[in-house]
Amino acid sequence: MKRNYIGLANSFHDSALAIVDDSGEILFAEATERYLQNKRSIGIAPDLYKRAADLVQHYCDPQAELVFASTWSEATPALMQQGLDKVAHARGQYQQAFGAPPPLLRRQLGSQEFFFRAQLGMVNQCGRLLEHDLGQREGWDGVRIVQRSYHHHLTHAATACLSSPYQDALCAVLDGMGETSSFACYRYRDGVLHELDAPSGTAWASLGFFYAMVCEACGFGAMSGEEWKVMGLAPYGRHDPELYGLLRQMLIVDGLRICFPAPTTMTRLRQKLYAMRRRPGQAAIEFADLAYAGQQVFSEVLFAFLGNLHGLGGSDNLVLGGGCGLNSSANGKILANTPFSNLHVFAAPGDDGNAIGAALLAYREDHPGDTAAGFVSPYLGSQMDPEILHNVERFGRLAGLRRCAGDAPQQAARLLAEGKIIGWVQGRAEFGPRALGNRSILADPRSSAVKDTINARVKFREEFRPFAPSILHEHGPAYFEDYQLSPYMERTLKFRPSAVARVPGVVHHDGTGRLQSVRQQWNPRYHALISEFHRLTDIPLVLNTSFNVMGKPIAHSVEDALAVFFTSGLDALFIDDVLIEK
């Protein structure tokens, strides 16, 4: 019988929904935060009432069975309950021996308790809203639903490997937390994943949690997803032996295992770290050395772990999954610091991306002979509603509004060359946290002042935050040392000294840039825009940042796009072929 596959990424943060058809094609994928405009959608199920059923009704066949595939295994509820029991036991023991826990311990126990409770709730309710809503809809009330669930790290690995161009690879998954550990390794060959045996780790020993601790010590919010700020701040720092020594003691690499030191030692190290935590009123730049040390330790541990993985043999191709795969600064150095020759990181290596992994695992379960591999487009999300856009034209009374005559990329390039900052909203939204030319703010990279202008007047964020270069792929080697293809803006590379003065707006403090390689077949309109900008300026790249303001997800609707445009310093906005200028 024909089946459609609904991937439900049901982590308590970054939930998402994906739809795969009976031929294995990914029809749709989107994080919950986009529709709700609620950053990371903490504690919100992926099968939003009405929204999820509307998507299923649009993309799926009502005569087909629906397979609901979730991203945490059936063992999860019992494991989360065990975690809650351990937290309660630890709290009770401490209180009995010493009285009320001190603030640091109280926060640690509270964070652990929140994780277990939140994840337990997400697992228990996964798919129930969608099943109920479909049951109330005519033509869908008789649809048969099959429930499947998969190990969390397996869904990470499936997303990573099944989006890769490789027929064989080694896969490393590193994140904050899975069912019982924060890491897993797999051998991938011809569409099949085999987990490599490794000693089980302490559940809370995690490269992801380590980076979250550094993030919080720098005064940023790990729960808010502000690890990006640590990466942005780190290049402004210098090596501090004392800070490095403190952080390096927190992580131990033992083969394919990452460990924290003994609990008493780890507690002492955490107390020392949090004692230097940034206080209200302190400037973030004062903590650049701490960010530098955190990034240095993260990278060293990652490279050691990956070196051990390669030592097992089997492939020179590396596929990286899990939230740690979002550390683009480390990603750009992997090939130079490990024996691997090739690297693939998908557009959504974090928990939202697992919606695709779960759906594809369910599909492969029913179609075991399918070994197709190749480039997976990140443009899998929603489109702007044409009716609402038409209503803006009819009733908006906007003097600066007009329709482009099929030449929106050329008009956008002209405005950029004139020094204008534009919003570029086209086609289907990108899946994952990075704007890749369909939900972007664009600017001329030749200006040395453009970074400060956008941070202060458009994004309303810290002055040290960098912006990305989107470059025509064929020009990549001329601008970057040891150029690597980077279709998903997933790695940071070093600019050539000869290029730095030409595009200072996208060169970070350490001479690097988190680049996006652009090819015509991947995004024709964006490629046309950059090509025209190249013709006008002799520069084959543009400054690209996500179409949002700090603290908000990337704009989802016409209304969201207009809100960003009219409440920021943008000069012009393109929504498909509609242009609005101030």
User: For residue range 11-34, what is the model confidence (pLDDT) as tens digits?
Assistant: 999 999 999 999 999 999 999 999
Tokens 């780190």, located at residue:
234
Say if residue 130's pLDDT is above 60. yes
Confidence of residue 197 (pLDDT cuts 50, 70, 90): confident
Average pLDDT across the chain, whole number: 95
Q: How far apart are CA 550 and CA 563, in angstroms?
A: 13
Crossing angle of helices 354-366 and 152-162, in 10° steps, is 80
The enclosing H or E element of 424 equals strand 422-425
Q: What is the pTM of this model?
A: 0.96
Confidence of residue 201 (pLDDT cuts 50, 70, 90): low
pLDDT for 203 equals 63
Say if residue 156's pLDDT is above 90. yes
Contact (Cβ atoms closer than 8 angstroms) between residue 228 and residue 280: no
> Which residue from 436, 419, 418 is spatially nearest to 427, judged by alpha carbons?
436
By mean pLDDT, which of 49-58, 373-382, 513-522 is the weakest? 373-382
Q: Where does 254-396 show beta strands of DSSP type E?
A: 258-259, 317-321, 342-344
> What amino acid occupies position 327?
N
Say if residue 498's pLDDT is above 90. yes
pLDDT for 26 equals 97
Contact (Cβ atoms closer than 8 angstroms) between residue 172 and residue 320: yes
pLDDT for 455 equals 94
Confidence of residue 204 (pLDDT cuts 50, 70, 90): confident
Confidence of residue 92 (pLDDT cuts 50, 70, 90): confident
Task: For 388-415, write each residue's pLDDT tens digit.
Answer: 999 999 999 999 999 999 999 999 999 9
Contact (Cβ atoms closer than 8 angstroms) between residue 184 and residue 256: no
Confidence of residue 107 (pLDDT cuts 50, 70, 90): confident
Phi and psi for 177 in degrees, rounded to 5? -170, 135
Say if residue 250's pLDDT is above 60. yes
Task: For 301-358, write each residue's pLDDT tens digit.
Answer: 999 999 999 999 999 999 999 999 999 999 999 999 999 999 999 999 999 999 999 9
By mean pLDDT, which of 51-55, 111-115, 245-249, 380-384 is the weakest? 111-115
Mean pLDDT of 113-136: 94
Mean pLDDT of 218-225: 92
> What amino acid occupies position 22?
D
Say if residue 200's pLDDT is above 80. no
Q: How far apart are CA 81 and CA 40, in angstroms?
A: 24
pLDDT for 102 equals 83
Contact (Cβ atoms closer than 8 angstroms) between residue 62 and residue 78: no
Mean pLDDT of 471-492: 98
By percentage, how much of the chain surpasses pLDDT 70? 98
Q: Which two tokens stand for residue 413?
A: 């390039």
Say if residue 138's pLDDT is above 80. yes
Across the strands, what pairs with 30?
A: 17
pLDDT for 202 equals 59
Say if residue 149's pLDDT is above 70. yes
Q: How far apart are CA 7 and CA 17, in angstroms?
A: 6
- Please list, in sequence order, all residues whose beta carbon lies within 8 angstroms of the beta carbon of residue 81, skipping any fewer than 6 positions away: 116, 120
The enclosing H or E element of 341 equals none
- Please list, in sequence order, all residues whose beta carbon lies within 8 angstroms of the beta carbon of residue 331, skipping any fewer than 6 positions away: 320, 325, 343, 345, 490, 491, 492
- Please list, in sequence order, all residues whose beta carbon lies within 8 angstroms of the beta carbon of residue 346, skipping any fewer than 6 positions away: 159, 160, 163, 164, 321, 325, 353, 376, 432, 488, 490
Tally the residues of the chain. Answer: 582
Residues 132, 123, 156, 522: is their CA dihedral positive or negative? positive
Across the strands, what pairs with 424?
A: 440, 574
Name the CA radius of gyration of the chain, rounded: 24
For residue 232, the SS3 value is helix
Distance of CA 89 to the CA centre of its chain: 35
Say if residue 109's pLDDT is above 90. no
pLDDT for 490 equals 98
Q: How far apart are CA 355 and CA 71, in angstroms?
A: 7
pLDDT for 108 equals 80
